[in-house]
Amino acid sequence: MTGNPPEPHPPSPNADGPRQGQTQPSATSLGRALKIRSMVTVAGEFLPFVWPMRNFIHHNPLHGLEHLPFEAAVDQASALFHARGYLRRTEYQALLREGHIDSAVIEELVAEFLLAQGPDQPAPEHQAEDGATLDLHRILVTLMTRMDQPSVGNAFPSTDAILAQLRPLAEAP
Amino acid sequence: MKRLAAAEIGTRWTLYDLIDQLHGERIGATLNEWLIKGCLDFLDEGQSAWRMPGRRQGLFQSWCQIARRNRRWRLRGLDLGPTLERVEQPEAAIDLVMTRLAIPERLWMDYFAVELSKLHGWAGFVRWRAQARDYYWQERNPADLVDFIAIRLILSLPLIEEAERRHRRDFLYPDWVRCMSERPHECLLRRELHSGAILPDYAHRVEVALDGGDTKGIETLCLDYEREKTAREAASRALRLRELCELAGIPRAELATQRSGALRQMIEAVHGLRAREGFLWMQALERTYIRHLLDRLAAPRETPAEALARTGTAAPGIAGSKVQALFCIDVRSERLRRQLEGLGHYETFGVAGFFGVPVNFIELGKGHESARCPAIVTPRNVVLEMPHEHAPHGPSLFHLATEVVHDLKCTALAPYITVEAVGLLFGFDMVGKTLAPTLYHRWRKRLDNGRPPTRLMIDKLSEEDARDLIASLHDELVVRALDRQLGIKREAVTTGMIQELREIALGRAAAPSQLARRFDLDSATETVFITRLRLEYRLTPDQARLQLEQLARIGFRIERQALLVRNTLTTIGLAEDFARTILVVGHGSRSQNNPYESALDCGACGGDKGLVNARLFAAMANRREVRERLAGQGIRIPEDTWFIPALHDTTTDEIQLHDLDQLPPGRLTQLTRIQEDLAAAGRLCARERCAALGETGIDSPEAAARRVKRNALDWTQVRPEWGLSGNASFIIGHRDLTRAVDLAGRAFLHSYDHRRDASGASLEAILSGPLIVAQWINLEHYFSVVDNAVFGSGSKVYHNVVGRFGVMTGNVSDLRTGLPAQTLRQGERPYHQPMRLITVIEAPLPFVQGVLSRVFKVRELVENGWIRLLVIDRAEGAAHLFEQGTWMAQPWTPRPENGRSAAVEPARRARKRQVPVETPS
């Protein structure tokens, strides 16, 4: 971007602000230096060791987060390192096709997931019968096993916004 | 839409991250590049021809010196000089920059963590180095994370200030906080614009509005933009949901009849699943594996007696019929063990590949110690490799050996001690290189052309022997100094003269010496010579004392040898019924042009080949004195039982026996058959391996063996073997549980018999040692495969070895950690299936819970779900899995222990719901 007009906050060093004392020699007392050193040490605890590769040592890249449950640690590491914590869905689906994952197990896990969502969720076997509710179990199993695109991506525009898009089709009140 | 939050400044984003994101700069990338170059120069371990000066002062100081003169930065208008003038210590630099950026001190720690995560490979190496005791390069050129962060912050400051000038804005912490609270709409639009996420039809309008700087106009546009983007995203989500419902058998018409509540529930369930989907898939993979494993462990199989009958081998117990073999727990041993046992008269055991002997090893011709044990163990003892025979070398490096031998004739391994080998221990690695280069090169060449047979010095020296040895070493140094400094040859001086010079140098005698009188040296020349002995040849009392301490670390006392052997044998449940021949099989890999070769070696031996530990264990177990002590503790190893070390080449599945020269002659004839059996089992493994590697045109085990051998020698081969890829489980139990089960080279197998471990001490040792190492291996593979770019090291094709300690992708990149793509992926698909280590312990559940309560680390790993723990009790016919904080009974019926006739349980049974049996341990 070029040709910016003057900004609402022109760069005028504040006499009382942080730029003060630029010409003073910096002196850090021993106590202060130790404090900074310990802050850096603690801040670095999440970092996995990297050994010289002459002797490659296998290690857990998330070793510094082992005090957390696996799932929480993966979430935290994903944010910290901007990394994935699991394979892509299509890669798992390939494992499913090859028999490394049993489709009955997926059904079980989705049922357990729905159960954990809360007691107000209707039991899977009762959902579709009266036509009033949707068979969430079937929908989620289908999502996992047959959809190759994420049905809900990273951007989640809110339930109401999506509902508003689905509503025009729905005739029921 | 999600707006930038002020709380994320300093905790998720650095100040320059915000400048990059909202103003389209590339400060982060520039910083990374400059810091990497600084690290490359400083951390180099002898790869670059031109070394960075002043490295001994440490990373920060030496970098500052270079930075003051960096013309490239000055040309760019960046002058670090004024900042550098004001700080002498890295802590002061951090203080200065963080204060200048006005970041509140409560956020510093988070800010440092975000800074460190930018180049986690380099930072991880510096962090490792800073805590590595005795790491030569760290001792020589010290560096730590404080240096690392200080440099990064110092570099970031002028870049931020440069951006401030260019954009005519303040970019300090308070400015950003104000910006986000007062002008959130501008922030949002800026981020959309510069991240490329902006709706294309809005891009121009947004750019014009931002340039115009009209706050009200920006706000109006932003609200419009947010509405539009939300609507479009919602439309695409709704479209996907309709597709999904149709796939699930709910036609659009039916969806249209749903009430809002039902639709809302569906939308939220789908969204809720998104956050947990990866975890569910991983659980699905694990649960499927666990069920198949339990089925296979329960299925009827051939018993050892039936196997012997089938192969026509004599029944066990008849002398000479059985061979026992100790293998590493490594997943690659599983195939070989299975194939070897399939041949008939082999009984195999699994134990961590250092065979319980942690040691610092000094290889012949190498001047440093390398730890041969798991990374979590710190060895106390040192073992030297000694040449077997002393080939003549003119006025040889070894000519003093005879004197040493004479002095130490009482020591068991004395004939193999040489001054050179011991000299290595004291850092006289370069005895040859500095004092006799030509001879040294000839010696090296001989080593390289074909290693002379060696023995390991495993026994402790007595103090008297040690003193004699040091005196001999010093005399040898005096002889060399005389030759080199004064041109006086050995034949011209007497032993008495040499010893007198040594004593003078050590301050125990006074000049003038006999030598000075004999050769008419003036006192100045003599003083210079003695000073040189002290300074260059390190003949001082302090050094002598240090050398004595070093020598005290060599070898193991007999009691300790007996203890180590006993621990290993009892841990694996081998305390009686010893075969006449027991192989101790370490493993190593062989490949060419492969910086990751060490990753294919034995993890329990510090990422090195396992032969040294196998040789040590066998040598100890063969000692009469050791066996006498073991017999006193109830472990009676028959006199005619012989332990033979071997190396399993995991790339070719060839097994080479070692130290055969130490066997009684009668034994050699029996070995031929064992070697043939090992070769046959290796060929069968090669056939399995070729199938896994996707090799085609393999029609016989022989062809497979030829193919894998070619892979090992082909220097263009990016995947000589799959290594530990595919690892999934760790089974701690009696071999009866797994014998004849094809575990496809995916299981670590540790032999263990809980009936011989009443106190649980052996299980505790297995959990806190081998299991932890296996868990590291497992999770290294897990994360390297799920995100090869971040946790793995990407494709080998683009790798460049840097500084002799790591690899980068291309010319400049973060130091690559983890495993390369070729180790884990087959083409576009993952070969390694990422799941947490399924750990099976064969023992009663209360017993395991008791042991677990004593091993905090493992309990934490189990309770936090880093390890999946499955406890099998064959006597009770029960299996329990720890899941979600509870032990869940698993449906499992084992085969009857007495043969297969009664075992008619089908492989697959109807599943019942898992039943929690008790609350968390």
Secondary structure (H, E, C), B55-112: HHHCHHHHHHHHHCCCHHHHHCCCCCHHHHHHCCCHHHHHHHHHHHCCCCHHHHHHHH
Question: CA-CA distance, B182 to B825, in Å (whole number)?
Answer: 49
Pick from A118-132, B616-630, B750-764: least confident:
A118-132
Q: Which of residues 437-466 of B touch A (CB under 8 A)?
A: none
| pLDDT tops 90 at residue A163 | no
Check CB contact under 8 Å for A49 and B94: no
Residue B393 has pLDDT above 60, yes or no: no
At B368 the pLDDT is 67
Average pLDDT over residues B609-631: 95
**Residue A25 within a domain:** no
Give yes or no for a contact between A1 and B23, defined as CB atoms under 8 angstroms apart. yes
Q: Do B170 and A9 meet the contact criterion of CB atoms below 8 Å apart?
A: yes
Q: Look at residues B150, B154, B162, B177 and name the one whose alpha carbon lies nearest to residue B25.
A: B162
Of B122-131, B395-404, B870-879, the one with minimum mean pLDDT is: B395-404
Biggest CA pair distance of chain B: 117
* Residue A65 domain flag: yes
If you average pLDDT over every residue of chain B, what do you get? Answer: 84
Higher pLDDT, B884 or B21: B21
Report d(CA B256, CA B258) in Å as an integer: 6
DSSP readout, B491-507?
Answer: GGS-HHHHHHHHHHHTT
Burial of B489 (0-12, 13-18, 19+ CB in 10 A): exposed
Q: Is the pLDDT at B911 greater than 60, yes or no? A: no
If DSSP codes are grouped into helix, strand and coil, which group holds residue B579? Answer: coil
Query: Worst-scoring range by mean pLDDT, B217-221, B445-449, B500-504, B568-572?
Result: B445-449
- pLDDT for B305: 67
Kindly report the pTM of this predicted structure. Answer: 0.83
pLDDT band per the 50, 70, 90 thresholds, residue B895: low
Average pLDDT over residues B691-717: 73
Interchain CB distance below 8 Å, B861 and A66: yes
Are A97 and A48 contained in the same domain? no
**Is residue B443 classed as helix, strand or coil in its secondary structure?**
helix
CA distance B224 to chain A (A): 15
Report the pLDDT value the prediction gives residue B221, as an integer from 0 to 100: 95
Q: What are phi and psi of B432, to 5 degrees?
A: -70, -45
Residue A13: closest C-alpha in chain B: B170
Q: Are residues A42 and A64 in the same domain?
A: yes
Mean pLDDT value across residues B831-847: 96
A111 touches chain B (CB under 8 A): no
Check whether B700 has a pLDDT greater than 90.
no
Q: Is residue A12 part of a domain?
A: no
Is B170 a residue whose pLDDT tops 80? yes
Instruction: Choose, out of A37, A39, A93, A114, the residue to mutate when testing the contact with B (most B CBs < 10 Å).
Output: A39
Q: Which of A166, A167, A171 to mutate to test the interface with B (most CBs of B within 10 A)?
A: A166
SS (H, E, C) B60-73: HHHHHHHHCCCHHH
Question: Which residues are B654's β-sheet partners?
Answer: B649
Helix (H), strand (E), coil (C) string for chain A: CCCCCCCCCCCCCCCCCCCCCCCCCCCCCHHHHHHHHHHHHHHHHHCCCCCCHHHCCCCCCCHHHCCCCHHHHHHHHHHHHCCCCCCCHHHHHHHHHCCCCCHHHHHHHHHHHHHHHCCCCCCHHHHCCCCCCCCHHHHHHHHHHHCCCCCCCCCCCCHHHHHHHHHHHCCCC
For B124, the 3-state DSSP assignment is helix
Q: Please tell me if residue A20 touches chain B, with a CB cutoff of 8 Å.
A: no
Using CA atoms, how far apart are residues B204 and B207, in angstroms rounded to an integer? 5
Q: How confident is the model at residue B466 (pLDDT cuts 50, 70, 90)?
A: confident
Does residue B376 sit at the A interface (CB-CB below 8 Å)?
Answer: no
Say if A165 falls within a structural domain.
no
Q: Which one has a higher pLDDT value, B294 or B376?
A: B294
- The predicted pLDDT at position B416 comes to 36
Structural domain range at position A43: 31-81
pLDDT band at residue B389 under the 50/70/90 scheme: low
What domain count does chain A have? 2
Judge whether A15 is closer than 8 Å to chain B, CB to CB.
no
Task: Flag if A1 and B211 touch (Cβ within 8 Å).
Answer: yes
**A95–B833: do the CB atoms touch at under 8 Å?**
yes
Tell me how close the Cα of A125 comes to any Cα of chain B, in angstroms: 15
Confidence band (pLDDT; 50, 70, 90) for B900? very low
- Calculate the alpha carbon distances from B140 to B129, B131, B150 in Å: 11, 14, 20
pLDDT (average), residues B885-900: 74
Q: Which of residues 721-740 of B touch A (CB under 8 A)?
A: 724
Q: Is the dihedral of CA B322, B323, B328, B334 positive or negative?
A: negative
The pLDDT confidence band at residue B32, using thresholds 50, 70 and 90, is very high
Max mean pLDDT among A29-38, B65-74, B890-899 falls in A29-38
- Interchain contact A116–B (C-beta under 8 A): no
**Residue A35 located in a structural domain:** yes
In the Cβ-directed half-sphere of B116, how many Cα atoms lie within 13 Å?
A: 28
Residue of A19, A24, A34, A51 to mutate for B, most B C-beta atoms under 10 A? A51
Closest-CA distance, B127 to chain A, in angstroms, reads 6
What distance in Å separates residue B88's CA from the closest CA in chain A? 9
Check residue B216 and give its pLDDT: 92
Residue B760 has pLDDT above 90, yes or no: yes
Using a CB-CB cut-off of 8 Å, the residues of chain B touching A94 are: 829
Chain A residues in contact with B244 by the CB 8 A cut-off are 139, 142-143, 147, 151
pLDDT of the residue at A53: 80
- The residues facing B349 across adjacent strands are B326
Which residues of chain B have a CB within 8 Å of the CB of A64? Answer: none
- How close is the nearest chain A Cα to the Cα of B697, in Å? 23
Please state, in angstroms and rounded to a whole number, the distance separating the CA atoms of residues B290 and B276. Answer: 21
In the stretch 71-110 of chain A, residues with CB closer than 8 A to chain B read 71, 73-74, 79-87, 89, 91-92, 94-96, 100-102, 104-106, 108-110
Are A66 and A114 part of one and the same domain? Answer: no
Q: Quick check: A94 and B829 in contact, CB under 8 A? A: yes
Is this complex's ipTM strictly greater than 0.85? no
Subunit contact B213:A5, Cβ cutoff 8 A: yes
Q: Is the pLDDT of residue B410 over 70?
A: no
Residue A103 lies in a domain: yes
Residues A95 and A70 in one domain: no
| Residue A13 within any structural domain of the chain | no
A contacts of B122 (beta carbons < 8 Å): 50
- pLDDT-derived band of residue B914, with 50, 70 and 90 as boundaries? low
Let me know whether A115 and A134 are in one domain: yes
User: Are A95 and A54 within one domain?
Assistant: no
Whole-number Å distance between alpha carbons of B287 and B291: 6
Contact present, B372 and B623 (Cβ < 8 Å): no
Does the pLDDT of residue B41 top 70, yes or no? yes
Minimum mean pLDDT range among A140-154, B54-68, B86-100: A140-154
Q: Are residues A127 and A96 in the same domain?
A: yes
Looking at residue B318, its pLDDT comes to: 45
pLDDT of residue B75: 79
Q: Which residues pair with B830 in a beta bridge?
A: B825
Instruction: Quote the pLDDT of residue B698.
Output: 76
Which of A56, A135, A151 is closest, CB to CB, to B240? Answer: A151
Q: Are residues A60 and A109 in the same domain?
A: no
Please report the pLDDT score of residue B670 as a whole number.
Answer: 80
Span A78-96, mean pLDDT?
93
Instruction: Please judge whether A144 and B279 are an interchain contact, meaning their C-beta atoms are less than 8 angstroms apart.
Output: no
Residues A72 and A93 both lie in one domain:
no
> Do A96 and A122 belong together in one domain?
yes
pLDDT value at position B53? 85
Task: Locate B622 and state its tokens.
Answer: 């063969």
| pLDDT tens digit sequence for A29-61 | 889 999 999 999 999 999 989 888 877 788 899
Residue that has been written with the tokens 């016919």 in this structure: B877
Q: Search chain A and give the residue with CA nearest B912.
A: A108
pLDDT band at B399 (very low <50, low <70, confident <90, very high): very low
pLDDT of residue A26: 54
Dihedral sign (CA A62, A67, A71, A72): negative
For residue B838 the two structure tokens come to 């399924």
Most confident range, picked from A7-11, B330-334, B459-463: B330-334
Do B122 and B814 contact (CB within 8 A), yes or no? yes
A29 touches chain B (CB under 8 A): no
pLDDT of residue B436: 42
Instruction: Please classify residue A143 by burial: count the beta carbons closer than 10 Å to its beta carbon, then call 0-12 exposed, 13-18 middle and 19+ buried.
Output: buried
For B353-407, the DSSP string reads: TTTT--EEEE-TT--SEEEES-TT-----EEEEEESS----SS-TTTTHHHHHHH
pLDDT at B905: 38
For A40, the token pair is 């850096």
Among B26, B34, B90, residue whose Cα is nearest residue B58 = B90
pLDDT at A127: 47
**Which residue from A50, A69, A87 is facing B124, i.e. has the nearest CB?**
A50
Q: Indicate yes or no: CB of A66 within 8 angstroms of CB of B860.
A: yes
Alpha-carbon distance of B138 to B131, in angstroms, equals: 9
Q: What is the mean pLDDT of chain A?
A: 76
Q: Is A38 on the interface with B (CB under 8 A)?
A: no
Pair (A67, A97) in one structural domain: no
Higher pLDDT, B341 or B310: B341
Q: For residue B163, which of A80, A7, A14, A17 has the smallest C-alpha distance? A: A7
Please report whether residue A14 resides in a domain: no
Instruction: Average the pLDDT over each of A23-27, B253-257, B401-405, B788-792 and give the range with the smallest value.
Output: B401-405
User: Which secondary-structure segment (H or E) carries B873?
Assistant: strand B867-873
Q: Which of B271-275, B621-625, B683-687, B736-740 ranks highest by mean pLDDT? A: B621-625
Distance (Å) from the C-alpha of residue A121 to the closest C-alpha of chain B? 9
Q: Is B264 helix (H, G, I), strand (E, B) or coil?
A: helix
Please answer yes or no on whether A151 and B281 come within 8 Å at the CB atom.
no
Report whether pLDDT(B398) > 80. no
CA distance B357 to B354: 6
Render pLDDT for B656-682 as a digit per residue (tens, 0 to 9). Answer: 999 998 888 878 888 888 999 999 999
Residues B734-744 have a mean pLDDT of 91
Runs of H (alpha helix) within B795-909: 821-824, 845-852, 856-863
| Alpha-helix residue ranges (DSSP H) falling in B184-259 | 184-195, 200-212, 215-247, 252-256
What is the nearest CA distance from B686 to chain A, expressed in angstroms?
A: 24
Residues of chain B found within 8 Å of residue A56, distances taken between Cβ atoms: 596, 598-599, 601, 607
Residue of chain A minimizing CA distance to B83: A22
Q: Which residues of B535-553 are buried (b: 16+ CB within 10 A; e: fewer)?
A: eebbbeeebbeebeebbee
Q: Are residues A117 and A74 in the same domain?
A: no
